[in-house]
């Protein structure tokens, strides 16, 4: 029998699949839907900021033939709501995603979290590309080092980071050198490819409102970048740091590829926006069929075993 089980920081999941933060995870209804979704092994909340946020003006999400572009702007119900959810409501293993518009806010939020009763996994989003006037922090290696140094001077609970995609092998070396200094549970790679632009030729205009139409790219078009980031970070990070692969998954073969590149777990976003939560059942079946065809019993049989020529 094919075994899709995977480990989430000590919890055994029946499936290695998660939702990509931001997709179907902002409201209590959406989070409850995820909790009731078969073949979704674990779930991630929408990145929470200290104060609730409206986010950017609509239109802010646009479906493309080969993926998606979004400029949501971190709309969320606020950190207190999601902390209450993970403490009181969660019924499925859940990663609390948090974000901040400044290093100071990140410290404030994580100090509160450290003092709270929450003992579960948290993911610090260092890579939102859609806050007007704000950079993706993790593109600044020194700033990332400073923030993590301060965070880990007091934070003792499970903590990982959500990274933007890198496109230069030296950048993989640099971010890995920073991350390997800290007792991180995981990295989640990739966030959307920031500041893409789509043009509606008929209307001769952009398709999202904020930032003149510049937005984060997701979906099948980002799969090669996602696979490269999973592989490069797996090759460079300490074994103690897990890799959650995100980006470009539309099929079981894509999940197989992420795991072959070293992913411990795999999250799916844009395809769920297109196909709904039933995507997870289809992807699990497709992955099992590929494993059966190849004679693999478990994910460990092929995880990280991508061959070079």
Ligand X SMILES: O=C1NC(=O)NC(C(=O)O)N1
Q: Is 158 in the site for ligand X (CB under 6 A)?
A: no
Structure tokens at 301: 């049989």
Q: In terms of CB distance, is 121 or 129 closer to ligand X?
A: 129
| Chain residues 174-233 in contact with ligand X, contact rule CB under 6 A | 191-192, 216
Q: In terms of CB distance, is 249 or 290 closer to ligand X?
A: 249
> In this structure, are strands 67-70 and 214-218 parallel, antiparallel, or unpaired?
antiparallel
Could you tell me the smallest distance in angstroms from the CB atom of residue 109 to ligand X?
15
Q: Is 247 in the site for ligand X (CB under 6 A)?
A: no
Q: Which of 128, 176, 272, 287 is catalytic?
A: 128
Identified binder of ligand X from the candidate list 39, 122, 130, 220, rule CB under 6 A: 130
Q: Is 122 in the site for ligand X (CB under 6 A)?
A: no
Distances (CA, A) of 15 to 27, 256, 284: 23, 13, 8
Could you tell me the smallest distance in angstroms from the CB atom of residue 45 to ligand X?
12
What is d(CA 169, CA 172) in angstroms, rounded to the nearest whole number?
5
Q: In terms of CB distance, is 23 or 291 closer to ligand X?
A: 23
Could you tell me the smallest distance in angstroms from the CB atom of residue 64 to ligand X?
14
Identified binder of ligand X from the candidate list 8, 72, 237, 268, rule CB under 6 A: 72
Q: Is 128 in the site for ligand X (CB under 6 A)?
A: yes
Q: Which residues of 137-156 are buried (b: 16+ CB within 10 A; e: fewer)?
A: bbbeeeebbebbeebeeebe
Grouping H, G, I as helix, E, B as strand and the rest as coil, residue 36 is coil
Neighbours of 55 (CB within 10 A): 18
Q: In terms of CB distance, is 127 or 251 closer to ligand X?
A: 127
Number of residues that bind ligand X (CB under 6 A): 13
Q: Which stretch binds ligand X (CB under 6 A): 1-9, 127-135, 255-263, 301-309?
A: 127-135
Q: Is 74 in the site for ligand X (CB under 6 A)?
A: yes
Q: Which stretch binds ligand X (CB under 6 A): 37-45, 126-134, 166-174, 245-253?
A: 126-134
Catalytic annotation present for 128:
yes
Q: Which stretch binds ligand X (CB under 6 A): 79-87, 123-131, 224-232, 285-293?
A: 123-131
| Residue whose C-alpha is closest to residue 118's, from 141, 97, 146, 101 | 97
What lies within 8 Å, CB to CB, of 152 at 6+ separation is 159, 182, 183
Torsion of Cα atoms, 128 then 131 then 132 then 138, to 10°: -40
Q: In terms of CB distance, is 78 or 304 closer to ligand X?
A: 78
The answer to whether residues 113 and 87 touch, using CB atoms and an 8 Å cutoff, is: no
Could you tell me the smallest distance in angstroms from the CB atom of residue 207 to ligand X?
15
What is d(CA 232, CA 117) in angstroms, rounded to the nearest whole number?
35
What lies within 8 Å, CB to CB, of 10 at 6+ separation is none
| Residue whose C-alpha is closest to residue 23's, from 304, 290, 207, 279 | 279
Contacting positions for ligand X (CB under 6 A): 22, 47, 70, 72-74, 125, 127-128, 130, 191-192, 216
Query: Active-site residue numbers?
Result: 128
């Amino acid at each position: 029998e094919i075994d899709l089980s995977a480990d989430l920081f000590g919890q055994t999941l029946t499936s290695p699949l998660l939702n990509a933060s931001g997709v179907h995870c902002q409201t209590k209804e959406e989070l409850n839907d995820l909790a009731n979704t078969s073949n979704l092994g674990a779930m991630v909340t929408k990145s929470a900021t200290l104060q609730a946020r409206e986010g950017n003006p609509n239109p802010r999400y646009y479906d493309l033939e080969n993926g998606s572009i979004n400029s949501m702007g971190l709309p969320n119900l606020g950190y207190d709501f999601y902390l209450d959810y993970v403490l009181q409501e969660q019924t499925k293993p859940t990663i609390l995603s948090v974000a901040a518009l400044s290093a100071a806010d990140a410290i404030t939020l994580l100090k509160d979290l450290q003092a709270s009763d929450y003992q579960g996994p948290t993911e610090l989003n260092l890579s939102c590309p859609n806050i007007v006037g704000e950079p993706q922090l993790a593109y600044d290696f020194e700033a990332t080092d400073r923030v993590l140094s301060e965070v880990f001077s007091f934070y003792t609970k499970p903590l990982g980071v959500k990274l933007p995609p890198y496109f230069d092998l030296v950048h993989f070396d640099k971010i890995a050198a920073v991350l390997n200094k800290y007792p991180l549970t995981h990295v989640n790679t990739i966030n959307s490819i920031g500041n893409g632009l789509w043009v509606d030729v008929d209307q001769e205009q952009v398709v999202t409102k904020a930032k003149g139409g510049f937005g984060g790219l997701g979906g099948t078009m980002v799969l090669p970048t996602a696979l490269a980031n999973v592989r490069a970070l797996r090759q460079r990070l300490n074994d103690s740091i897990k890799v959650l692969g995100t980006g470009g998954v539309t099929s079981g073969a894509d999940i197989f590829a992420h795991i072959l590149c070293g992913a411990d777990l795999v999250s799916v976003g844009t395809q769920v926006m297109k196909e709904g939560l039933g995507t997870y059942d289809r992807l699990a079946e497709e992955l099992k069929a590929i494993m059966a065809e190849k004679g693999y019993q478990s994910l460990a049989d092929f995880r990280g075993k991508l061959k070079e020529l």
